[in-house]
Amino acid sequence: MQRRRILQGAAATATAALLPASVRAVAAPAAAADFPAAQWSPASASNYTVSSRPSAYPVDRVIIHVAQQTFTQTIGIFQNPAKQVSAHYVVRSGDGLVAQCVREKDIAWHAGNWDYNTRSIGIEHEGWVDQPSYFTHTMYERSARLTADICDRYGLTKDRAHIIGHHEVPGSDHTDPGVNWDWVRYIRLVNLV
């Protein structure tokens, strides 16, 4: 029985090694995430630009988004190579689970402005701008912890000049995170971490 388990494990390892890197990345361990509390849920490589930030581009802001979708649907969109969109992180409403979809060294396609994409980390939040019930205390708290960690690692001041909404990106036609997003509360939480 012991020998069978060893052989099964060896076969599984050998099979995994034969898979293309793009397929193996889907099963990457949580340790692959830049934010230790994040679950690794990689976007399709067709939906972001490989880079070497911050040496290639300085990271100077965090952009807050509301997905207009559920958590699972948002990740599914980022994993669909035809969608041509991604963000670095997605935060779930109910329990604040954080998923990382794009490594921070790479350029996620989230802002609709290449210059802002190259210099920012994008965080999507589950929900809809006109449904504030999605903006739970847990979501705010976990997202604030993530944003504070990003600011600390990149030396960003934890203020509205460095933490902006998608609607503040030049040329954006988006309204997210919307009028129901409590910026005062959010920035306070970011600074409490």
pTM for the full predicted model = 0.84
Distance CA 142, CA 131 (A): 19
| The pLDDT value given to residue 81 | 98
Each residue's pLDDT tens digit, 99-153? 999 999 999 999 999 999 999 999 999 999 999 999 999 999 999 999 999 999 9
| The pLDDT value given to residue 50 | 98
Whether residue 189 is predicted with pLDDT greater than 50 in this model: the reply is yes
Each residue's pLDDT tens digit, 54-91? 999 999 999 999 999 999 999 999 999 999 999 999 99
| The pLDDT value given to residue 16 | 38
